[in-house]
A = this chain, B = another copy of it.
């Protein structure tokens, strides 16, 4: 048994939770703020048998991997016209920071 702690972006957290439930992984979501990733993020606690770690990591990667996203230009209200970029720009979104922790004892009541 391992305890996996995964910090992911809020925007990916529901998709990840659905994928985990569908594959019968048991996860708890903690509210978290700031930190490893730039935007608001969510911390998952996932209890998992050793043999299923690779599959779990694959699911986290598929749903949360850092990627570039095109963002539409915003009109420069109140900003400098000099810095206005009149075409979509790529920003990095997503990302996951994952710790796999050893567990000495696991019990359910």
A interface residues (Cβ-Cβ under 8 A, vs B): 1-3, 5, 7, 17, 26-36, 41, 43, 45, 47, 53, 57, 60-61, 64-66, 94-109
Smallest CB-CB A-B distances: 8 pairs: A28-B35, A100-B105, A65-B109, A96-B109, A61-B109, A98-B107, A100-B104, A3-B99
Chain A contact surface mostly: strand
**Chain B residues closer than 8 Å to A30, beta-carbon distance:** 30-32, 43
**Chain B residues closer than 8 Å to A41, beta-carbon distance:** 28
Which residue in B26, B29, B65, B104 is a CB contact (below 8 Å) of A97? Answer: B26
A32-B35 in contact (CB<8A): no
